[in-house]
Amino acid sequence: MEKFFKRAISNVTAHGDTDIFPFPFENHVFFDKPDETISLLRDIHTRFDSWMANSPPSYDGALAPVNYTGFRWANQIDPLWNLYFLALVLSIADDIELQRIPIANQTVFSYRYSWNENTATIFDQNLNWRLFMERSLEQASKHNNVIICDISEFYPRLSHHRLENALAHLNLKSDIPKRIREILSVFSNTNSFGIPVGGPASRILSELALNQIDQLLALEDIQFCRYSDDFHIFADSMEDGFTKLLTLTEKLQHTQGLQLQKSKTRIMSSAEFISTSPIREDHDGTSDQKEKSPSRPDAARRLMRFSIRFDPYSPTREEDYEDLKKEIKKFDIIGLLQSELAKSRIHIALAKKVVSAVRFLEDKQRDQAVISLIENAELLYPIFPSILLVIRRVFEELSDDTKALTIERLLKMLNSGSHVLRVELILAYAIRVLAQQPSSGVQNALVKLYNSPQRSSFLRRDIILAMTRLGAWHWISDRRTTFRSMSPSERRAFIVASYSLKDEGKHWRQHISDELTPFERLVKDWAASKASKQNWMMPL
């Protein structure tokens, strides 16, 4: 398992634990102390039953917006247990991939396992949603009709029993499937269904579960493409399409206990499918004309086709960054943003792409974009986590006026009870922006949030870290007496925060040292090594 512990640590420290929640500060611990982290993971593996009994996996849950009125429930797993869970799944990922329909068939494009030691990526980066759409367009051109559909509440409704059966058919000579099942049982509150959303381990397991559907459709000689829970099925007529839709619906219900989303299921003509594709090429006019003055819809489609991928760990990252900035200049990002802001409801996928490009703009344009984004929070509500993440990344590069305006707007939204910040996941990202600018107003708002009894532990954890970063040692000191009643994530944050208390913190740590868990001791050792460095600042 040693190899997979290392892979799990490399992946999480490079790319994060989920694509939904803000990254926990413990990722820095794993990055700086990989050997000590592996030692803990090794102990969990050796004494699994003891760890499950005495220090079982904990997790935080929150609603994540998917549109203006829709949400999905997401979980963030305890950072150490997340590493162990990921390592378990990685150890059987090659066996799972061998069971799936071959890549050469150009049928299933999501989360194809292919570990890359250089980039610490888990999935084949050449197989993605865009390739899924391109292959779908190619298939649509050969058929008269296309059925588009996706599975309703896929991750929350995925059956543990059916997943267990799929794992059993891997014929593994280990107890890894049993351990995976026990960990999933904790995450689902002992329910026999549901897996965490947003992490690579769950994605690998979900693909194993859906492999049965893929194989059954292939046996029926049904032409289809799939990316995660999205299906495109190709038919020669409406009747043929309806028959194939019935087949998929029955297979999902009988083998997985899953259903299709009724509102998103359609049988459409191939011509309509091709004309409405977000990645279709626009063949009107010459390429020179389009390059010089592309229409706004054409510019939007070009941006959707453009890959904004930057690897900060690449040895050529500086050159890559400059190259990406040059490419971004070819798009009128500000114009596209203003076009979205003029709508009553944004195009979520396009707006996300525009926001992701903001960090690569020149200084003046970047400030202009950030001001527009923060002043239109209600309209941009479905993608506000992405907006706050970008603002956090570029905050130090913003002008002083833009920084002040950003903090002012966030505080106004918070103090007025704006519905945008009532969603705890969005609030978590907002806290990380607020923590960048010391002010009494920010500290007062954070303390009020912390004192609210209904707040989740991951929010309270981040408030402890934010208050430490803001230098509020008086408040940190006052929280010492509540340490024993804190959640595991708050406790770890407070251990790090205690280093801001000078001698008071040193005496307190000596007093509670015997009460700390192995993970907490690792966090304490990491914080000690960091706090001794001049001008070290709490990462948040």
pLDDT digits (tens, 9 = 90+) for 396-411: 999 999 999 999 999 9
Domain count, the chain: 3
| Whether residue 303 has pLDDT greater than 50 | yes
Q: Is residue 290 in some structural domain?
A: no
139 and 236 share one domain: yes
Cα separation of 215 and 205, whole Å? Answer: 16
pLDDT at 204: 98
Would you state the pLDDT for residue 540? 85
DSSP assignment of 414-436: HHHT-GGGGSHHHHHHHHHHHTT
Average pLDDT over residues 44-66: 92
Return the pLDDT at 290: 42
Q: Is 229 found in the same domain as 375?
A: no
Do 187 and 158 meet the contact criterion of CB atoms below 8 Å apart?
A: no
**Residue 353 and residue 450 in one domain:** no
Residues 185 and 320 in one domain: no
Residue 296 has pLDDT above 90, yes or no: no
Give 169-192 pLDDT, tens digit per residue.
999 999 999 999 999 998 877 778
pLDDT band at residue 294 using 50, 70 and 90 as cut-offs: low
Asked if 460 and 431 sit in the same domain, the reply is no
163-177, 327-341, 446-460: least confidently modelled range: 327-341
pLDDT at residue 46 in the model: 97
Kindly state whether residues 392 and 364 are assigned to the same domain.
Answer: yes
Confidence class of residue 282 from pLDDT cuts 50, 70 and 90? very low
Please state the pTM of the whole predicted model: 0.91
Domain that includes residue 498, residue range? 444-540
Q: Please report whether residue 285 resides in a domain.
A: no
At 208-248, the pLDDT tens digits run: 999 999 999 999 999 999 999 999 999 999 999 999 999 99
Kindly state whether residues 57 and 191 are assigned to the same domain: yes
Look at residue 166 and tell me whether its pLDDT is greater than 70. yes
Q: Examine the domain organization and report whether 460 and 430 are in the same domain.
A: no
> What is the overall mean pLDDT for the chain?
91
Is 77 part of any domain? yes
363-371 long-range Cβ contacts below 8 angstroms, 24+ apart: 363/397, 363/399, 365/333, 365/334, 366/394, 366/397, 366/398, 367/398, 367/399, 367/401, 367/402, 368/334, 369/333, 369/334, 369/337, 370/394, 370/398, 370/402, 370/406, 371/402, 371/405, 371/406
Q: Tell me if 494 is assigned to some domain.
A: yes
Statement to judge: residues 242 and 320 lie in one domain: no
142 shares its domain with 259: yes
The answer to whether residue 284 scores a pLDDT higher than 50 is: no
Task: Please give the pLDDT value at position 41.
Answer: 98
pLDDT at 312 over 70: no
At 335 the pLDDT is 87
Residues 125 and 197 both lie in one domain: yes
In this prediction, residues 116-120 reach a mean pLDDT of 94
Residue 417 inside a domain? The answer is no
Reported confidence tier of residue 326, pLDDT bands at 50, 70, 90: confident
Query: So what's the pLDDT on residue 131?
Result: 94
Q: 133 and 247, same structural domain?
A: yes
Whether 154 maps to a domain, the answer reads: yes
